[in-house]
């Protein structure tokens, strides 16, 4: 049975059900482009401040940049004021024309929570409803919501929060199946994905502990959960999309070669340069380079080289060392 199927999200239909999660510092145009090539069906930008957007802060715009090979993307906004979120949605819809606009109700970072945004919204489902209602009243782009299980173990309320989002007009809900208190630690509660999918009249997407193609198959089997999002599992491993896609289609999972991994990392760096310029791109790419080295034989020494790279010439040296190491071990 082919489990790789499109999902209808309001007026928009995705190409398939494998998504790149919104990940601050990672899911930018360069990485989304790499993931699109690997088979990602729709990628989410990192969270973008509705306050910054409506005040015209130009630095925010780089987060919304899009690559040529991305036919569609989803933009995630954060904020706590319905009118500001609606105004930001209008700006995004008119200027960047995303397929979906997503509302962040999961960010655990104190700086965000303190403003009433991110996971603070899990404590105020009525505000989630008001935010989504204001946004759906202002734009035709389908609005989706990404929530957590709840604030902490004593206040698990994802069913209530998701119902509030749907009442406000949300076209899909993503559940990161951890509480705010858990951050990113511990295992995600998979049963909650199924409970939410059974409870909602709109598609439910699963996030949390998506680290293998098998995890995607396990969650999508049975057809209750509509889609899965890869987050940390895709960092340095965009090939997870091609493996997951093959697994969902009942085909053998492809295994990338060392040369392919190096060439994708190099292309990723090249795309980053276009958006950030040499210095910023090179410094920012250190963490990506380390991620690409996950599980690579001789990775520890190569990581030491990567964290010292500040220029393109430094990366030429790094990639030469990686190629030499791969050749030595071949
Ligand atoms: C570094 C980092 C940044 C993240 N940034 C965002 C974000 O901007 N918006 C969001 O909704 N979730 C964000 N997340 C959460 C992920 O989208 C995802 O829900 C979470 O990592 C669970 O999936 P995983 O266990 O498969 O990594 C972030 C996670 C990490 C690790």
pLDDT, position 85: 98
The pLDDT confidence band at residue 73, using thresholds 50, 70 and 90, is: very high
Average confidence (pLDDT) over 172-198: 97
Distance CA 39, CA 241 (A): 5
pLDDT, position 71: 85
| Domain 8-248 class, CATH top level | alpha beta
pLDDT, position 1: 86
Q: Is the CB of 67 under 6 A from ligand 1?
A: no
Q: Is the CB of 46 under 6 A from ligand 1?
A: yes
Distance CA 50, CA 56 (A): 10
21 alpha carbon – ligand 1 mean position (Å): 7
313 alpha carbon – ligand 1 mean position (Å): 32
Look at strands 8-9 and 12-13 and give their pairing: antiparallel
Average confidence (pLDDT) over 278-294: 97
Q: Are 329 and 309 in contact (CB under 8 A)?
A: no
The pLDDT confidence band at residue 122, using thresholds 50, 70 and 90, is: very high
Neighbouring C-beta atoms of residue 311, cutoff 10 Å: 12
Ligand 1 nearest-atom number relative to CA 102: 11
Distance CA 53, CA 15 (A): 29
Average confidence (pLDDT) over 263-275: 96
pLDDT, position 318: 98
Q: Is the CB of 207 under 6 A from ligand 1?
A: yes
Q: Is the CB of 108 under 6 A from ligand 1?
A: no
Nearest residue (CA) to ligand 1, atom 18: 231
Domain limits of the chain? 8-248, 258-329
pLDDT, position 60: 86
Distance CA 166, CA 129 (A): 8
Contacts of 270 (CB under 8 A, 6+ apart): none
pLDDT, position 58: 78
42 alpha carbon – ligand 1 mean position (Å): 15
Q: Are 106 and 181 in contact (CB under 8 A)?
A: no
Average confidence (pLDDT) over 115-133: 98
Token output for 206: 């699963």
Chain segment 224-244, per-residue pLDDT in tens: 999 999 999 999 999 999 999
Q: Is the pLDDT of residue 253 over 90?
A: yes
Q: Is the pLDDT of residue 171 over 90?
A: yes
> What are the start-end ranges of the E strands in the chain?
8-9, 12-13, 18-20, 42-49, 74-78, 100-105, 143-148, 172-176, 204-207, 227-230
Token output for 13: 């239909």
Among 18, 20, 24, 210, which residue has the most ligand 1 atoms within 8 Å of its CB, making it the best to mutate? Answer: 24
Cα-based distances in Å from 11 to 4, 28, 140, 226, 238: 20, 25, 9, 16, 28
Distance CA 18, CA 299 (A): 29
Q: For all residues of the chain together, what is the average pLDDT?
A: 97
Chain segment 25-57, per-residue pLDDT in tens: 999 999 999 999 999 999 999 999 999 999 998
Distance CA 86, CA 70 (A): 25
Q: Is the CB of 106 under 6 A from ligand 1?
A: yes
Cα-based distances in Å from 135 to 35, 112, 132, 159: 28, 20, 5, 21
Q: Is the pLDDT of residue 147 over 90?
A: yes
Total-model pTM: 0.97
Q: Are 67 and 29 in contact (CB under 8 A)?
A: yes
Q: Hey, which residues does 156 pair with through a beta bridge?
A: 150
Q: What fold does the segment set 258-329 form as a domain?
A: 1.10.1200
Q: Is the pLDDT of residue 2 over 90?
A: yes
pLDDT, position 61: 87
**Residues taking part in catalysis:** 107
HSE at residue 94, side-chain half, CA atoms within 13 A, is: 9
pLDDT, position 123: 98
Average confidence (pLDDT) over 310-324: 97
* Residue written as token pair 């173990």: 153
What letter does residue 72 receive in the DSSP assignment? Answer: -
Distance CA 217, CA 206 (A): 12
Distance CA 134, CA 94 (A): 16
Q: Hey, which residues does 26 pair with through a beta bridge?
A: none
Hey, is 77 helix, strand or coil? strand
């Amino acid at each position: 049975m082919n489990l790789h199927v499109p999902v209808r999200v309001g007026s928009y239909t995705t190409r398939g059900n494998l998504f790149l999660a919104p990940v601050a510092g990672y899911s930018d145009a360069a990485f989304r482009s790499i993931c699109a090539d690997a088979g990602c069906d729709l990628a989410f930008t990192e969270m973008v401040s509705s306050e910054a957007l409506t005040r015209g802060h130009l630095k925010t715009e780089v987060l919304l940049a899009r690559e040529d090979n991305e036919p569609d993307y989803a933009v995630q906004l954060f904020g706590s004021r319905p009118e500001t979120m609606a105004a930001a949605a209008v700006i995004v819809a008119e200027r960047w024309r995303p397929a979906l606009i997503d509302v962040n109700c999961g960010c655990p970072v104190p700086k965000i929570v303190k403003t009433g945004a991110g996971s603070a919204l899990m404590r105020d489902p009525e505000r989630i409803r008001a935010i989504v209602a204001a946004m759906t009243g202002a734009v035709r782009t389908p609005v989706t919501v990404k929530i957590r299980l709840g604030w902490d173990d004593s206040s698990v309320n994802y069913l209530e929060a998701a119902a509030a989002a749907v009442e406000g007009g949300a076209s899909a809900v993503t559940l990161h199946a951890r509480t705010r208190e858990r951050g990113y630690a511990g295992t995600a509660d998979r049963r909650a994905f199924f409970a939410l999918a059974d409870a909602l009249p709109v598609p439910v997407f699963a996030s949390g502990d998506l680290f293998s193609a098998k995890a995607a198959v396990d969650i999508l089997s049975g057809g209750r959960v509509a889609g899965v999002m890869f987050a940390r599992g895709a960092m340095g491993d965009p090939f997870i999309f091609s493996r997951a896609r093959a697994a969902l289609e009942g085909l053998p999972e492809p295994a990338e070669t060392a040369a392919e991994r190096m060439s994708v990392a190099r292309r990723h760096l090249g795309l980053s340069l276009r958006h950030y310029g040499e210095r910023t791109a090179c410094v920012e790419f250190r963490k990506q380079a380390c991620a690409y080295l996950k599980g690579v034989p001789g990775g520890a020494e190569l990581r030491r080289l990567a964290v010292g790279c500040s220029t393109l010439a430094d990366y030429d040296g790094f990639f030469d060392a990686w190629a030499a190491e791969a050749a030595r071990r071949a």
